[in-house]
A and B are shown apart, each in its own frame.
Chain A
Amino acid sequence: NAGVMQNPRHLVRRRGQEARLRCSPMKGHSHVYWYRQLPEEGLKFMVYLQKENIIDESGMPKERFSAEFPKEGPSILRIQQVVRGDSAAYFCASSPSTGGQYFGPGTRLTVT
C-alpha cells in the first residue's frame, strides 16, 4: 500500500507565477489535509477536504490560495501570484474514516 504521494517534491517559482501542488492520498483514505511549515515555525493547518467538499478552510489565507479534491484525481493546492513569503514546505496528510493522519513527503516551494 503506497503512502501519501506528493508532487513535485521541489518547486521553484518566480514572484507572480502560479504554484500547483498535488497530493494523492493513501488508498482507501477519503480525507485530505494540507499543512504549511514555514522556516523556523511549526506546522500549521491550512485546509481539510473530502471528495468534492471543503470541510474546513479556517487555516487558508484569504487571498490567492485555493484547494480542491475532485471526485477523480489528486487533491490540488493552488497558490496564485506567489510572493516570497509563500516559500515553505507544504505537507499533505490523508486519513481513513477511523482516524490517524499519515503525511506525505512534502513539496518545498521556493519563490525567487
Chain B
Amino acid sequence: SQELEQSPQSLIVQEGKNLTINCTSSKTLYGLYWYKQKYGEGLIFLMMLQKGGEEKSHEKITAKLDEKKQQSSLHITASQPSHAGIYLCGADRGSQGNLIFGKGTKLSVKP
C-alpha cells in the first residue's frame, strides 16, 4: 500500500503566484526529504527535515514538518517557470535507511 500520499497530483499556476504541495504519511517518519525532478532527469535534493516542527527555507522554497512528523508541506513563493517540474517527497522510516516516495506532484508555471 502507498504509505506516502502527495497532493495535489498536478498543479498549474500563473507565474508569480504562491503554491503549496503536501505530503502525508500514515506513520511517524524518521526523516522527510523533498526532491525536484525534471522530466527525463535525475532528482535534485531540495531539503531534509528530521525534527518535529522543523522548517527550512532555500531561496523561495520553504518546507515544514509537523510536530507529529507525519505531514510535510512545501511552499513556493512567487513561482517562476524555473520552478516547474515534478516534486517528490521521500520518507526515511529509520529502519535501513532506504526511502519510500510519494507519487509526485507535477508543477507547471505559466509565464
Contacts and interface: CB of A to CB of B under 8 A. Distances in A.
B41 A101 contact: no
A55 B103 contact: no
B42 A101 contact: no
A99 B98 contact: no
Contacts of B33: 100-101
A43 interface: yes
For chain A, which range describes its interface: under 10, 10 to 19, 20 to 34, or 35 or more residues? 20 to 34
Contacts of B48: 99-100
Interface in A67-107: 91, 93, 95, 99-106
Given A103-B35, A105-B41, A55 B96 contact: yes
Q: What secondary structure prevails in chain B residues at the interface with A? A: strand
A43 B88 contact: yes
B45 A103 contact: yes
A58 B97 CA distance: 12
B24 to A, nearest CB: 15
Contact of A45 (B35, B88, B99): B99
A22 B41 CA distance: 16
Given A43-B99, A103-B43, 11 more contacts: A33-B97, A35-B99, A43-B90, A44-B101, A91-B42, A99-B31, A100-B45, A102-B45, A103-B42, A105-B42, A108-B40
14 contacts: A31-B97, A33-B97, A41-B103, A42-B103, A43-B88, A43-B90, A55-B96, A55-B97, A56-B97, A58-B96, A93-B43, A100-B33, A100-B45, A101-B99
Interface of B: 2, 31, 33, 35, 40-45, 48, 50, 88, 90, 92, 96-104
